[in-house]
A and B are shown apart, each in its own frame.
Chain A
Amino acid sequence: MSALRILVPVKRVIDYAVKPRVNKAQTGVETAGVKHSMNPFDELSVEESVRIREKKSAPGGVEDICVISAGPAKAQDVLRTAMAMGADRGIHVEVKEGEELEPLSVAKLLKEAVRREKSNVVILGKQSIDDDANQTGQMLAGLLGWSQATQASKVEFGEGDSVSVTREVDGGVETLKAKLPMIITTDLRLNEPRYASLPNIMKAKKKPLEKKTLADFGITTERRLKVLKVTEPPTRQGGGKVEDVGGLVSKLKELGAL
């Protein structure tokens, strides 16, 4: 089996525990001074890559784990976090603050990165928790013409470059079999990402981090979707509390829910 050269795209997003606020101009959400972290699904991708190496679950071994992020200067923080979790090196593609790439552009960038890094498996999060698009992995698979296994909850390597992936689908799970090279996107059930230990955070500072521009990959910030406005969702008013089960039933009847 070929040795794995894993590419792991990671995205810096507003921390999942923060409740985002729409800005006054209604052009987006407030990001200044808001805590950002690695997209939770991308943590799963990094963790899975590192486990494949640690558990020696791929017969050909893991030759390289490279993390890549397109984003503002601060995206380097999430690349360092990924390296502290065990990735070997990082590539930062600088994008100006506020000039975020659409999934199709990211997929095109990653296609070029795959070619340069000679990657044979790309592990992405199934979606980023800011845009909630759930597209990049599938688009990349389409552009490369590779097999795809999305929403993976289990990944197993076999002989002869074969990979079986169990994926979460509506109503249960299904198992697919493909051969390298392939694209995998992670679902929450895949693993429990580790915390980076202090010594590993220190070591990660010494790992190589390449800085690139969009032009290096032949990508522009052209947008196909224009955001006309961003608004707050309609707020729900809590209807208050009832004293007992009888009160609950009669209130539900009154609201026409029973």
Chain B
Amino acid sequence: MLLTVPRAALRHSVHRLAPLASKTPSISPAALRRLASTLAILEHREGQLNVGSLSAIAAAKKLGGSIHAFVAGSNVKPVAEEAAKADGVEKIVVVENGAYDKGLPENFAPLLVENIKKGGYTHVIAGHTAFGKNLLPRVAALLDSQQISDITAVENENTFVRPIYAGNAIATVESSDSIKIITIRGTAFPAAELGSGSASVEDGVDPKAESSTEWVSEDLAKSDRPDLATASKVVSGGRGLKSKEEFDKIMLPLADALGAAVGASRAAVDSGYADNSLQVGQTGKVVAPQLYLAVGISGAIQHLAGMKDSKVIAAINKDADAPIFQVADVGLVGDLFEKVPELTEKLKSS
């Protein structure tokens, strides 16, 4: 493994060793060897740990070195104690303050900057979620670091892999920044399991910066179905559904018969058939379930960007030449209004 690290990277690491070691004398031997010390940013909502955000810990493990996790908000002690069970995490840094509940970057970014500086971290990782996307670039700018967004693999502590051009090309990039600020694609790093870990829980520093924005309200789509981003099965509908009524009548029973999350193409969302938050694609969610069933979706490149890493792709479309069939493992040419209810019945009876 070490042999594959470019010489320049090794040299770079040696240079960094001296100041790092003097700043944080308590750094663990493992971290000294590999030099990485990572802060993984966890998300929570009303005292519930967002289990998907444990992907940040999974990515941190690939870097080697010590791993701390960070959580801030009101009533976050139980969240921290839950996260402390994640294997391989040494410490959970906690800041208990309701001012951070909504993840407003105006005060959350200075909070992170203070804790990153105090901990002397070489890497900071968060999910490429609405929260991470909003917050981390602001943190990166304050630390004068060029962020690396939406990575899908870690090659070594300086080198990362990320899709560009809607996933039509894969770039391998090497960072020369002393603090690497990274967002990760959740589907590429399965969440770290909560097992037998016993991380210590410690209070972080709280600079109590004021936020110049005020959170007013939210309107979240409520659903009993699995969460789109992490579901093992996804059924997705497109323009072919023709109306919201048909979308609900055709797609929802199919989702329930499979125990699947519901997704949609941009065309379906723009036409009002489905909620914006269900959009799969370059500008919506990126999913990689065991099964992705595309119904009435032609398969534009922006849509494929959001689902082409799915294990098995199935498609039902009346146009035999639709591009979706070029990526589908199994395709059925036919009228979805006839085929999907038939499929739903068959799934229910089996």
Contact = CB atoms under 8 A, between A and B. Distances in A.
Q: Is the interface of B mostly helix, strand, loop or mixed?
A: mixed
B172 to A, nearest CB: 4
Interface in A119-164: 126-127, 129-143, 146-151, 153, 164
Contacts of A187: 283
A141 B133 CA distance: 13
Interface string B235-257: 00000000000000000000000
Contacts of A223: 146
Contact of B218 (A107, A141, A174, A243): A174
B332 A230 contact: no
B219 interface: yes
Interface in B317-350: 320, 325-334, 339, 342-343, 346-347, 350
B284 to A, nearest CB: 9
B212 A147 contact: yes
A143 B144 CA distance: 9
Interface in B295-323: 301-302, 308, 311-314, 316, 320
Contacts of B128: 134
Interface residues on B, range: 35 or more
Nearest to B324: A238
Contacts of B137: 103, 134-139, 142
Interface stretch (B81-89, B194-202, B274-282): B274-282
Interface in B253-289: 258, 266, 270, 275-277, 282-283, 285
Q: Chain B CB within 10 Å — which of A131, A142, A176, A182 has the most? A: A142
A208 interface: no
Contacts of A116: none
Nearest to A174: B218
Interface in B77-103: 102
A130 B165 contact: yes
B332 A132 contact: no
A223 B215 CA distance: 36
Interface in A24-74: 29
A245 B343 contact: yes
B277 A249 contact: no
A198 interface: no
Interface string B105-129: 1100100000000000000000011
Given A133-B149, A239-B329, A249-B346, 9 more contacts: A132-B163, A138-B136, A146-B212, A164-B216, A177-B213, A230-B164, A238-B329, A238-B331, A255-B330
